[in-house]
């Protein structure tokens, strides 16, 4: 027996949600959809899972094909299976998400499918239920960033407090009080102050810091409540 009796064919797809930080702004990577319907409209990186592929392998293949990017660790986000989500055929999609340093991967990006970074707060309307996927991925990212210092991994070796604040404000789409943010960050004990200052972005200059990697690894799971009132951003 090659098929289960009385069962209908359903397509199985993956979609990749790639958030990026360029040192100043949070962005979302999008491509032009290559097929009908909604051809040439902005879309997440998506494609169908092939017969001999796992969903994870399909997600990595699709991301590389449509953007040129490879070697990105993506976490499984959610399964989207509303019967009418694709107007052509019944398609179930598993969404994967990742947060990367844009500068680390910018040389890999190709133009075959017009891959482009958009400011997260100014992204265009996306096809099908892709906007819903992005919103869910944002909620998951905000939840994780509120309780664990995962965003520190996106920063260069040396960074300033304003640069770190810009990253958190981009993720939460809000403005934090400068003094409170600085006090909260320094109270973690995760930062090592450097003698040098960044004088390009202000006359007074801001001291550079480095992440104490030993403390970061040791205290990762005990790092809690960095963002005040996280529920208002997550729920």
- Which comes out higher in pLDDT, residue 29 or 24? 29
Does residue 163 contact residue 74 with C-beta atoms inside 8 Å? no
Q: 224 pLDDT band (50/70/90 cuts)?
A: low
- Intervals of CATH 3.90.79.10 along the chain: 11-129
Residue 137 pLDDT class (50, 70, 90 cuts)? very high
pTM: 0.88
pLDDT of 27-37, one tens digit each?
999 999 999 99
Mean pLDDT of 102-131: 94
3-state secondary structure 152-218: HHHCCCCEEHHHHHHHHHHHHCCCCCHHHHHHHHHHCCCEEEEEEEECCCCCCCEEEEEECHHHHHH
CB atoms within 10 A of CB 28: 23
> Cβ(31)–Cβ(114) under 8 Å?
yes
> Which pLDDT score, from 0 to 100, does residue 231 have?
59
For the domain 146-234, what is the CATH code? 1.10.10.10
Q: Mention the CATH class of domain 11-129.
A: alpha beta
37: cis peptide before it, omega within 30°? yes
Q: Which residue has the higher pLDDT, 16 or 211?
A: 16
Calpha distance 14→77 (Å, rounded): 11
For the stretch 152-171, pLDDT in tens is 778 888 899 998 999 989 88
Closest C-alpha among 81, 82, 80, 58 to residue 137: 80
Looking at residue 66, what is its pLDDT? 97
**224 is written with which tokens?**
């809690």
- Using only C-alpha atoms, the chain has a radius of gyration, in whole angstroms, of 20
In the chain, residues under CATH classification 1.10.10.10 are: 146-234
């Amino acid at each position: 027996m090659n098929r289960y009796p009385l069962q209908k064919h359903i397509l199985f797809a993956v979609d990749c949600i790639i958030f990026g930080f360029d040192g100043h702004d949070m962005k979302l990577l999008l491509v032009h959809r290559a097929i009908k319907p909604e051809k040439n409209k902005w879309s997440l990186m998506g494609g169908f899972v092939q017969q001999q592929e796992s969903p994870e392998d399909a997600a990595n293949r699709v991301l590389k094909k449509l953007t040129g990017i490879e070697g990105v660790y993506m976490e499984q986000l959610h399964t989207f299976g509303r019967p009418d989500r694709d107007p052509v055929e019944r398609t179930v999609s598993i969404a994967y998400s990742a947060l990367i340093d844009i500068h680390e991967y910018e040389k890999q990006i190709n133009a075959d499918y017009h891959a482009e970074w958009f400011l997260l707060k100014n992204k265009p309307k996306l096809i099908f239920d892709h906007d819903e996927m992005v919103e869910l991925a944002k909620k998951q990212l905000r939840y994780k960033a509120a309780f664990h210092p995962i965003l520190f991994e996106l920063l260069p070796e040396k960074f300033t407090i304003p640069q770190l604040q810009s990253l958190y404000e981009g993720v939460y789409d809000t403005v934090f009080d400068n003094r409170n943010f600085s006090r909260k960050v320094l109270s973690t004990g995760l930062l090592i102050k450097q003698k040098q200052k960044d004088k390009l972005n202000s006359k007074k200059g801001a001291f550079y810091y480095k992440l104490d990697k030993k403390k970061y690894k040791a205290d990762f799971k005990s790092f809690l409540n960095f963002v005040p009132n996280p529920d208002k951003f997550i729920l």
